[in-house]
Structure 1
């Protein structure tokens, strides 16, 4: 078995795709409308679905906004240079909600950004050994 994807419901699909591709540097892997169900699915990721885990962005045509609730945590992305990554996100109009630094009660360097729908994305500094 392997993890295939994580699904996020988004209010504005074009805005979400722009964020994940333009700000986070993912690729739009595929997109398909389902007119009978009134929804569109778009898959984004850093590699092909055949060998990496991706994100499924689901847009229900009649829903502009979702209540994220308190059960969702975040998506984590490893980065070689967390400081440069946060600066690049900021330069592209993304929102950094926690600046890079050690996590509480630990030494792992993390940062958080937020997508246009309010979903949290954690950056984790890659360990060099």
Structure 2
């Protein structure tokens, strides 16, 4: 077994695709539209779904905002230079709401950013 994807509902599909491809370095892998049920899917990731876990961005036509709830926490992405990626994200207008630094009680260097819909993304520096 293998984890295939995580689905996030988004209010502006193109804005989310731009965030994940331009700021987070992912690729748009495929996009499909279902006219009967009025939704569009975009799969994005760092590699093909056959090899890696990806994100499925779901846009339900006409829905602009979702109640985030309190059960979902965040997705995590490993990065090589956390300080450089956070600086880049901020220069592009992205929200780095927890600046890079050691995790409390540990040695891992982490940061948190928000995507356009408010989903939390933890960046973890890989050594």
User: Into which bin does the TM-score normalised by the smaller protein fall?
Assistant: over 0.9
Give the 4+ runs in structure 1 shifted more than 2 A: none
User: Which residue of 1 is the match for residue 52 of structure 2?
Assistant: 52
CA-based RMSD: 0.7
User: Which residue of 1 is the match for residue 102 of structure 2?
Assistant: 102
User: Which residue of 1 is the match for residue 71 of structure 2?
Assistant: 71
Equivalent position SS for 1:40: strand
Unaligned runs of 5+ in 2: none
Whole-angstrom distance in 2 between the partners of 1:52 and 1:93: 28
Please give the per-residue CA displacement for 1:3-35, whole angstroms capped at 9, x wherever unaligned.
Answer: 000000001101110100111110000000000
Task: State the TM-score, normalized to the length of structure 1.
Answer: 0.96
Q: CA deviation at 1:107?
A: 1.3
Q: CA deviation at 1:62?
A: 2.2
Unaligned runs of 5+ in 1: none
Whole-angstrom distance in 2 between the partners of 1:107 and 1:67: 34
Q: CA deviation at 1:91?
A: 1.5
Q: CA deviation at 1:106?
A: 1.2
Equivalent position SS for 2:37: coil
Q: CA deviation at 1:44?
A: 0.4
Equivalent position SS for 1:42: strand
Aligned residues: 127
Whole-angstrom distance in 1 between the partners of 2:86 and 2:63: 30
Q: CA deviation at 1:54?
A: 0.2
